[in-house]
Amino acid sequence: MLKPRGVESPSVTVVIPAYNEGQRLPRFVERLTQVGLKQPAPPVEFLVVDDGSAPEHAAAQRACVEAAGTRFTEAGSPHRFTYVAAPRNGGKGSAIRLGWSQATPESEWLAFLDADGAINAEELFRLVRMTTSPETGDVDVLAGSRILMAGRRVVRSLARHLQGRIFATLTDLTFDLRFYDTQCGVKLVRASALRPLLGVLSEQRWLLDVELLALLKRQGARCIEVPIDWEDFGGSKVIPGLDAARMFWGLLQLRRRLDRLPLPPGPSH
């Protein structure tokens, strides 16, 4: 497909998986639009993937995305918003993989961002700007991390924090990723490193992060964690206890499956 004359190709494609987010997503899309119109950044293609939402949520999600896309176009912004409907509910990982498969071929980075707004628009665009920084010229993965340190703000319940730390410990013991926070809801991956993996990635739900990082490590990708601001606004679809048990069991299954896979080609610089 030929792009219209004068339209700049996106540098980063950000997939936002959305399942029944008719209340939270419109506020977040509005904020992403406001910040995108005010702050300079490489061109971003936002793909909101509706993961089989209920009709009332799907309608609200589509409407806010189409409105944001119109605002970017009318303002002459290089950013764009596109709505993608999955055929059925397949899980977060499935929705992200669908979005990546439909990313503009010219995008140099492929990313995902949670729809709940826990990672604010300013932080997303800060990470996007880092993709063109000389300091990250040899980096393949920019992964947000909920590390409470000077200058950063992380707000979440003690129970959620403890569950996250237990899961991170088990993940490190299983895959030796050396990551503090594998499950933070924003990651940007150089397209040359990620595209060869699109036919290999198969996790449907919460373990896509771990699967992705494990495969990238095997191919020698250079990863860094970037401390970000994060705030839990409630409404999480994670079920304490049940989803934790599923994820712990899933780690073992994932390890067995990855051990049987051939080593994918590594990224080129």
Which string of DSSP letters, residue by residue, matches 233-261?
A: -S-----TTHHHHHHHHHHHHHHHHHHTS
* Averaged pLDDT, 199-214: 92
Pairing state of beta strands 223-227 and 80-85? unpaired
Under a CB-based contact definition with an 8 Å cutoff, are residues 146 and 154 in contact?
Answer: yes
Specify the CATH class of 12-259 in words. Answer: alpha beta
Which residues make beta-bridge pairs with 154? 230
d(CA 65, CA 80): 10
Least confident of 121-125, 209-213, 259-263: 259-263
Sign of CA pseudo-dihedral 41, 24, 234, 209: negative
Phi, psi for residue 173 in degrees, rounded to 5: -65, -35
Which residues make beta-bridge pairs with 44? 12
- Does residue 264 surpass a pLDDT of 70? no
* Averaged pLDDT, 148-166: 62
Average predicted confidence (pLDDT) for the chain: 87
The helix (H) or strand (E) run that includes residue 145 is strand 141-145
- Residue 157 has what pLDDT? 60
- Does residue 266 surpass a pLDDT of 70? no
- Residue 173 has what pLDDT? 79
Say how many C-beta atoms besides its own lie within 10 A of residue 194's C-beta.
24
Q: What is the pLDDT of residues 68-95, one digit of tens each?
A: 999 999 999 999 999 999 999 999 999 9
Residue 214 tokens, joined = 């494990």
- Does residue 225 surpass a pLDDT of 70? yes
d(CA 227, CA 152): 7
Q: What is the pLDDT of residues 8-58, one digit of tens each?
A: 778 999 999 999 999 999 999 999 999 999 999 999 999 999 999 999 999
- Residue 159 has what pLDDT? 64
Say how many C-beta atoms besides its own lie within 10 A of residue 219's C-beta.
15
pLDDT band at 242 (very low <50, low <70, confident <90, very high): very low
Three-state DSSP class for 176?
coil
Residue percentage of the chain with pLDDT more than 90: 63
